[in-house]
Structure 1
């Protein structure tokens, strides 16, 4: 310090008081000082912060996730930066409980303390909340209020300085964005930061954070949580009701705790009664409430408010769609936007409101779906909802029609060619088309129900007609019959006799295969009358074929041959070569069943020539049956190669029932040729396919033909 006197510059008093240069400690500037005492203060000694909230009660399972966090801690990093774990999942799934449980398990390993902040409690505008968190952490680390900078970036820098050599555990709860975490990362490589968030926080993961996704509890775990609140005795008294309650709550701990709280308030109330109340989907969310507060719904509302407008709209529209899961293309259809815009709107996936179940397929958690549906009703105009549903119904119709044509190029179709749709779905093979239909089977039926209620009758019957290839190949009889009923009602309302005949005929074929010949007769009686009224002789031939199938199932072989022969004549008169070939095939089946192998052989060979080499599936089907005929004629060696190729064709094209029949017939052919080892191999293949199809009785029957296992050496 330098004090000078300069009369010319000091004014009238001739005194000057000036401070310059480097200064440390206390400085006092005054005119006259009579007495001065300096009292030096020691800096405050910081206590080790222990800010963790209490450990959660009734915590169940989560062994895998706890082990994953343990492994992260045990393996450590390279020491250059703190370890960061992002515990993410749907609101109410138990992210906070898991992170607190783990933090309490390992807290003694962090000798310099544990810091905690809930950004949900502080949330009032992005960076301000982060600045508040930093301020609180600095105070906990012993920084005096006057020493905490006001500027957020300066606070972050000071925090890094104070934590450079500390072994800290930091728990940040309810984070929305990666930008809320980065400023709060300590400088020490021995620190660990656990973040909980509805979002996946991809920006943090890209920079090295470890994601720890948290799924809902399964039924057993949910029941254990209920028992922890209600007591083992009460839950064990109603095990089925407790399991159903866990399922209705979707495994969400927040929902389970609310349900348990309701039951705990009324000890004499049966669990089954609450289950009955929650079964009504329309009121489930509002009934998951305590003290009039809809806690579960509030969790979802909070997550939705954080969505950008496009994602919020998509969330609501998807809630209006009555399907279990959707491909990314179907999501785009519902949104009615381009591919890029749809992908941007799928940011709601990052909010864990929509789950990615498989490659580019998405589904809602059951309770989230109910919430999205309620929002759609409240906030989306009826016209918007109807437009989204209409786009989806028309898109599924076009896709089903494209798949139908990929499986069978030429067959009877009444519906006009499908209209172009976006995004277009194409199929490179029949197998791919059938597998796509199989994967969308549940959605197709849901869309048909929706379209029928909406009165989109053309969409309904045309979609059902296209689904014939799926139903006939994969044998989902319940779907087959329900779809046929919906198609029949739709065609009847339109007054379209040809379409109604088509629907009734397709439905009848399911009844025939199930052996329910009475319902089949009734459907075909009406179908034949409608086909005649329509004047479409192609339909008459199709109904005649089905009538022949009924008589064949009854064992009335001559009557069956009469129907198939008449259908053959109609097809020949119309110049429908493939149709004539199919009737020859059915004649071959009838002669085989009647024990007339020579007539069957002639019918099958004629069918094979009429069908043409381009229809691989139909030719393979014929060759399989020719295998049985050759056995009957005592000529197995002539057909083994063709039946083997037919089995491979059916496998490649995804027609398992026919594949299994081919292996079964091959087992008999090779046995006739003295190849016991080959016969056993074919039989095992047939059994494996039947088991995959759930046909255990047939598999057991064939298993009885296998040789007994060789005795073990003693």
Structure 2
């Protein structure tokens, strides 16, 4: 609009009244006035999405979650927000870009994209301002009209996006505060955020979390096939699966590994697998263009941690456990329970650990390697102190569990000093289940403790693990722990403890039917027991020697050994020991076809166990009495007690004995003419054997069921 000089119309006044917002310019004579729009005349619909990733595979569930989010767009007054979170390198950006590219045409007003990592400044605030500036320019606002202040930019962005149907993809977000100013003022908009953190503040305000886990082996193999070609993967299927496992299901690691194979067409997948098998060098060998790409991902996340969280990360990397409870983390950190919860939450938020179950956490396999590497930066004294705290804590917990399972068995180790945090067990089954859940960790800690020379900790822990080994039958663990305990007891100069360790190890060999090693262990154990002067140990070794003779079916020799052990326990006044030897005599007489003598021996054993034993002891005697009653032709007199024993063993968490009870009960009910009852007992036994992984025994029993 142009006003020529002298064009003063009648009634025109140059004054102002009322309320005015913004700036006002007053002038006497206006030669020419030009009104400029904020919008660029060349502005179009923004199409900022990066190209869709090539070779994208899998992630059907996560794509479905994002699709369901899209169906809700417009239902509320605010835009929908999804937070795709997960470990660095797990494929968050690829998933988000793939989905965004697939649905981009539904957003008629355009798509905006920003990679926060590329714009990150110290503290992160300036990065958000830069993002808003870029978005406003993409929406047609000229540079000179874009405010410098972050709050003003956010307000202008909301004004420009009101009622627009926009898709916004924010990649590599560090904090929720980087997202809030960039939210459009439109319910038709959708914002997808990727972050290695969980961004709980956004989730609390209504954002939808889309956690991204590593690929499983099948998915990893499909990714490899997409890069290498199906023919190459099909030529080495097992090697491809192992490569997927070694890469931990991380797409970034799989793509780096595949790129190495693409560059060297003559190299086999198996050759690369062999190269990556060395855990100590796996991260440095996952390189692309000379850069340790995978390790760099973890380094970025690690350096973003606060000093306290970084210390915990290093200390957890220094301890040899695959997974850990919150209490174990507290022990390693040496801090209060509340502080442990806070530090764990921050590690979870950073996606450097994952919660596998209630109160259980673990590192991803490759993250564990990184944590172990940066643990070397921790002072040696700190690392050793953390390991020592964990070893002593596991010893105290194992001893507490042992005492719950069996109150009055022979123990050489003194009761340890109380440790924090204390672990208590409400029942025998709870104690056994805890030992079961921690057995891998305890074995790993025993190895390290042995190397560190903490010999008393090692053999005392192994002694306390007897209920687990004897009750749950993990023979490889049992034998390795026994070997570690034997070596430590010998270094400790403790012949009684060494005899104890050798005896426990021999019992594993007896149950496996490997009687040569059992003989050798017991020969040395007997000499050590005599050297120690502890006659309780002599009786225990005699019992094990009787077990060897029973396994050889030399029933007379077995009877002699158990009788000798019984007499020694009588001389020592050990009621439970007397009951155990009577029980073993009963087993020997049963195996020898002497049911009357077995009935008498088991009867005596039960009377003694009622006085000094546990409910477990009485139940296992009743189970074997079931077989004796059957041999004597009196099944009806014992069937209820055997059934009760089966349920007792289930309640106590002793599946091997429970399965035997159901099998004997099936035979008793057949003798009583109850075929349907027998079938139900067999099904119970089959279920237990399947839980134990004994498919062969389950199949054998299944053959007795009607087809």
TM-score (norm 2): 0.95
2:52 corresponds to 1:48: no
Which residue pairs with 1:670 in the alignment? Answer: 669
Deviation at 1:664, TM superposition (A): 1.0
Tell me how far apart the structure 2 counterparts of residues 223 and 356 of structure 1 sit (CA, whole Å): 25
Tell me how far apart the structure 2 counterparts of residues 131 and 234 of structure 1 sit (CA, whole Å): 48
Pick one of 545, 557, 563 that aligns with 1:547: 545
Which residue pairs with 1:116 in the alignment? Answer: 113
Pick one of 383, 386, 394 that aligns with 1:385: 383
Tell me how far apart the structure 2 counterparts of residues 356 and 348 of structure 1 sit (CA, whole Å): 10
Structure 1 413/24 Cα, relative in aligned 2: closer, same or farther at 3 Å? Answer: closer
Deviation at 1:693, TM superposition (A): 1.5
Deviation at 1:44, TM superposition (A): 2.7
Structure 1 25/644 Cα, relative in aligned 2: closer, same or farther at 3 Å? Answer: closer
2:659 corresponds to 1:660: yes
Deviation at 1:62, TM superposition (A): 0.7
Which residue pairs with 1:220 in the alignment? Answer: 218
Deviation at 1:161, TM superposition (A): 1.1
Which residue pairs with 2:498 in the alignment? Answer: 500
2:353 corresponds to 1:354: yes
* Contact 1:311–1:344 (8 Å) recurs in 2: no
Tell me how far apart the structure 2 counterparts of residues 443 and 77 of structure 1 sit (CA, whole Å): 50
2:76 corresponds to 1:76: no
Tell me how far apart the structure 1 counterparts of residues 589 and 80 of structure 2 sit (CA, whole Å): 75
**RMSD value over aligned CA atoms?**
1.8
Tell me how far apart the structure 1 counterparts of residues 236 and 596 of structure 2 sit (CA, whole Å): 65
Which residue pairs with 2:691 in the alignment? Answer: 692
SS in 2 for 1:196: strand
2:337 corresponds to 1:339: yes
Residues 553-607 of structure 1: CA distance to partner in whole angstroms, max 9, x if unpaired? Answer: 1111111111111111111111110111100100111111111111111111111
Tell me how far apart the structure 2 counterparts of residues 179 and 40 of structure 1 sit (CA, whole Å): 37
Deviation at 1:77, TM superposition (A): 5.5
Which residue pairs with 2:244 in the alignment? Answer: 246
* Contact 2:585–2:601 (8 Å) recurs in 1: yes
* Contact 2:40–2:140 (8 Å) recurs in 1: yes
Task: Please list, as runs of the form range in 1=range in 2, the aligned pairs for 1:413-432 lying within 5 A after superposition.
Answer: 413-432=411-430
Task: Please list, as runs of the form range in 1=range in 2, the aligned pairs for 1:587-626 lying within 5 A after superposition.
Answer: 587-612=585-610, 615-626=614-625
Which residue pairs with 2:461 in the alignment? Answer: 463
2:439 corresponds to 1:441: yes
Deviation at 1:37, TM superposition (A): 3.9
* Contact 2:83–2:199 (8 Å) recurs in 1: yes
Greater shift, 405-414 or 226-235, is seen at 226-235
Tell me how far apart the structure 2 counterparts of residues 363 and 553 of structure 1 sit (CA, whole Å): 42
Tell me how far apart the structure 1 counterparts of residues 77 and 35 of structure 2 sit (CA, whole Å): 38
* Contact 2:73–2:190 (8 Å) recurs in 1: no
SS in 2 for 1:107: helix
Gaps of 5+ in 2: 1-13
Task: Please list, as runs of the form range in 1=range in 2, the aligned pairs for 1:52-71 lying within 5 A after superposition.
Answer: 52-71=49-68
Deviation at 1:259, TM superposition (A): 1.3
Deviation at 1:349, TM superposition (A): 1.0
Gaps of 5+ in 1: 1-17, 710-714
Task: Please list, as runs of the form range in 1=range in 2, the aligned pairs for 1:58-457 lying within 5 A after superposition.
Answer: 58-76=55-73, 78-124=75-121, 125-346=123-344, 347-377=346-376, 379-457=377-455
Deviation at 1:697, TM superposition (A): 2.8
* Contact 2:329–2:340 (8 Å) recurs in 1: yes
Deviation at 1:450, TM superposition (A): 1.1
* Contact 2:542–2:561 (8 Å) recurs in 1: yes
Greater shift, 661-670 or 527-536, is seen at 661-670
Task: Please list, as runs of the form range in 1=range in 2, the aligned pairs for 1:618-657 lying within 5 A after superposition.
Answer: 618-657=617-656
Tell me how far apart the structure 2 counterparts of residues 234 and 682 of structure 1 sit (CA, whole Å): 51
* Contact 2:73–2:187 (8 Å) recurs in 1: no
Residues 353-380 of structure 1: CA distance to partner in whole angstroms, max 9, x if unpaired? Answer: 1011111111011111011111011x20
Tell me how far apart the structure 1 counterparts of residues 665 and 337 of structure 2 sit (CA, whole Å): 49
Deviation at 1:233, TM superposition (A): 2.7
Structure 1 476/25 Cα, relative in aligned 2: closer, same or farther at 3 Å? Answer: closer
Deviation at 1:699, TM superposition (A): 2.4
* Contact 2:283–2:295 (8 Å) recurs in 1: yes
Deviation at 1:214, TM superposition (A): 0.4
Structure 1 23/246 Cα, relative in aligned 2: closer, same or farther at 3 Å? Answer: closer
Deviation at 1:40, TM superposition (A): 4.5
Tell me how far apart the structure 1 counterparts of residues 281 and 15 of structure 2 sit (CA, whole Å): 76
Tell me how far apart the structure 1 counterparts of residues 252 and 571 of structure 2 sit (CA, whole Å): 70
Tell me how far apart the structure 2 counterparts of residues 699 and 538 of structure 1 sit (CA, whole Å): 39
Deviation at 1:167, TM superposition (A): 0.8
Tell me how far apart the structure 1 counterparts of residues 690 and 92 of structure 2 sit (CA, whole Å): 41
* Contact 1:402–1:418 (8 Å) recurs in 2: no
2:700 corresponds to 1:704: no
SS in 2 for 1:175: coil
Residues 309-367 of structure 1: CA distance to partner in whole angstroms, max 9, x if unpaired? Answer: 11111111111111110011101111111111111111011111101111111101111
SS in 1 for 2:78: coil
* Contact 1:165–1:188 (8 Å) recurs in 2: yes
Tell me how far apart the structure 2 counterparts of residues 400 and 374 of structure 1 sit (CA, whole Å): 30
SS in 1 for 2:468: helix
2:516 corresponds to 1:518: yes
* Contact 2:58–2:219 (8 Å) recurs in 1: yes
* Contact 2:73–2:189 (8 Å) recurs in 1: no
Tell me how far apart the structure 2 counterparts of residues 506 and 574 of structure 1 sit (CA, whole Å): 21
Structure 1 273/104 Cα, relative in aligned 2: closer, same or farther at 3 Å? Answer: same
Greater shift, 238-247 or 427-436, is seen at 238-247
Residues 11-42 of structure 1: CA distance to partner in whole angstroms, max 9, x if unpaired? Answer: xxxxxxx9866699995859xx9x94444445
SS in 1 for 2:66: helix
Which residue pairs with 1:580 in the alignment? Answer: 578
Tell me how far apart the structure 2 counterparts of residues 19 and 28 of structure 1 sit (CA, whole Å): 8
